[in-house]
Structure 1
Amino acid sequence: MDTRHLEAFRAVIETGSMTAAAVVLAKSQPAVSNLITRLEDELGVALFERKKGKLQVTPEAMLFYEEARRTLGVLERTRQVARDLKSLRSGTLSLASQPGLATYVLPPIIARLLKRWPDGTVRFITRSSPTVRDLGRIEAFDIGFAELPIESPASVIDTIEVPCVCMLPADHPLAAEAVITPRHLDDVPFISLYADHFLHEAIERAFAEQGARLRMAVHVEFFGTACALAMENVGVTVVDVITSLHFRKVGLVARPFEPRLDYRYAMFQPAPRPLSRIAREFVDAFRDQNARLIRANNPYLG
């Protein structure tokens, strides 16, 4: 069925005359009349009758009108989506990440992305890495960030390694040191991620190798919590350099930690499939910003 016939039919119904419909459709009155005649021939029923010079709608036409209106509505929405996709005006992106990235890294990327996609929508889930991996198994998001390992069938987009630094209150006696080692932290209250986390295990090995005592004050789940406790003089901590940027602004100092430790995580898709245009832009923006932040704040460079 030709959509031009349906559009002419809807216009005649809604305006009440062939002449008015012709104005709405920017067509001649005979052209509209011809479209209606063709539709009636296709349907095999009369849609309009003329009585005393006035156009009257038949009962069959009213029944058909509701279906025609719905059909055209769906078609117009589909056309609009197609136009939006072509012009990069709309799109939906679902993200999931651990709280550190969600708080300190991703918001400015999302803000810039939505300036380019003014009708776009971002759905943002913030959970621990194990929960993000679990949500990935049910494909609850488009792009996720979680600590390794990422299991199949998920598809890793990038593996990221971020150097870690030691965070101390500005008035801490060790703040005067250029580099912090486990020997400096021998028997100093320490705030660390939970005991089976790969970074905590690496810290334990570093202390053992230098014969220093790791005096645990608090185990936490997130770097941000560790830094907040350090600000309260509960102890010192080792966190990724990106998280450190925020807390350097509010009273902590960062010092390189030797031996070097890296925080590792992945940007991944729950299942391998082509990325949408808005997702591809997000991935490119994340790569660019994260690389610049690490390069500018890596204490082990130069």
Structure 2
Amino acid sequence: MRLRHIEVFNAVMLTGSVSGAARLINVTQPAVSRILQHAELQLGFTLFQRSKGRLMPTAEALTLHPHIERLFSQLDEVQRLAVTLKAGNSAKELRVLTVLALSYEILPRAIKLFRVKHADVTITVQALHSPQIVSALALQEADVGFLFSQVTHSALAQEHLSDGHMVCVVPKGMLPSRLIKRGSVSLAELSGQPVIGLDVMDPVGRSLNQACREAEVGLQFDITVQTYHSALALAHHGLGIALIDTCTAASADRTRVDVLTLDPLIPVPVKALWPAGKPGSVAVRAFVRCFHQALAQTV
């Protein structure tokens, strides 16, 4: 199928008629019919059958359509990238993406450091999930992003910034005093305790589940959350033990909770990413350095 065939096919699938497809893609009805017939001729099978004035897709058309939808999604990404490239990016603007956990303590410190020498740069910040950050950077919709875990993407360059790890945040009085005095706790010692679970789709949540499997420990997850700060907030209110990253734990209220080292050590690396085909500007490189410095001060 040619691209024009695909465009007409998709328009008919969306509208259910030749007239609707013609209006959608701004061509004449005879042109839609002609292109559709040519597509069917090339394919060697019928795509639509007429029923009560509407075009009903055949089984072959229904099989094709999900693949066509994915193709149009990719074309939309190309269009967005073209718009981004046409608009360019001002040297006085910095578009920053970060996972939510890094936006509470680390990001403000990094911005404060950055402002000392780059007070004239406008900064736009968005807190997103890791897959959204990767997608936006690949489409050059942002200049730099910060997240946890290793990322493999041909369109992105990255730099390792910090070797964070998971820690155990315990409401006061929930664990024996001997563990609190020791300053560390093992996964096995948390068995039977109310632990706040992390989303299994989250990189840190996956690392935690893997560590539990390797240690042959089954933790009791009465509450599961999507963000590390939600887990910390629940721990502050005595609702469970939070297993979170060191960056989030920097916000812990030590009058309400104790922060213990977790055994085994579960790494939570912090990475900086930017579009590989676009050399980092002076502002991007400076901001990455400031972010690195903020991590060193906090973690």
> 2:235 & 2:205 partners in 1: Cα distance?
16
Question: 1:256: how far off?
Answer: 0.6
Equivalent positions of 1:38-187 (< 5 A) are 91-147=92-148, 148-158=150-160, 160-174=162-176, 176-177=178-179, 178=182, 179-187=184-192
After TM superposition, give the deviation of residue 288 of structure 1 in Å.
2.4
Q: Contact 2:245–2:268 at 8 Å: present in 1 too?
A: yes
Give the letter for the 1:256 counterpart.
Answer: T
Query: Which residue number corresponds to residue 296 of structure 2?
Result: 291
Cα root mean square deviation, aligned: 2.3
Matched, 1:204 2:225: no
Q: Distance in 2 between matches of 1:138 and 1:250?
A: 44
Aligned-pair identity (%): 20
Aligned counterparts of 2:177 and 2:249: Cα–Cα separation in 1:
15
Task: Please report how far the alpha carbon of residue 250 of structure 1 lies from its aligned counterpart in structure 2 after TM superposition.
Answer: 5.8
SS at match of 2:251: helix
| Equivalent of residue 267 in structure 1, options 254, 257, 272 | 272
Provide the secondary structure at the position in 2 that maps to 1:133: helix
| Residue 129 of structure 1, CA deviation | 1.2
Separation in 1, partners of 2:134, 2:201: 17
Tell me: higher relative CO, structure 1 or 2? Use CA pairs within 8 A at least 6 residues apart.
Answer: 2
Consecutive unaligned residues in structure 2, runs of 5 or more: 1-89
Gaps of 5+ in 1: 1-84, 295-302
Secondary structure of 2:185 counterpart:
coil
- 2:237 alignment partner AA: E
Contact persistence 1:133–1:150 (CA under 8 A) = no
CA contact (8 A) 2:195 2:242 kept: yes
CA distance in 1, matches of 2:264, 2:130: 25
2:121 and 2:161 mapped to 1: Cα distance?
27
Could you tell me the TM-score, scaled by structure 2's length?
0.63
Could you tell me which residue of structure 1 aligns to residue 218 of structure 2? 213
CA distance in 2, matches of 1:174, 1:199: 26
CA separation in 2, counterparts of 1:283 and 1:202? 25
**In structure 2, distance between residues paired with 1:115 and 1:202:** 37
Larger radius of gyration: 1
Q: Describe the shift of the 1:292–1:108 C-alpha distance in structure 2 as closer, same or farther (beyond 3 A).
A: closer
> CA offsets, 1:138-158, max 9 Å, x none?
211111113332412111133
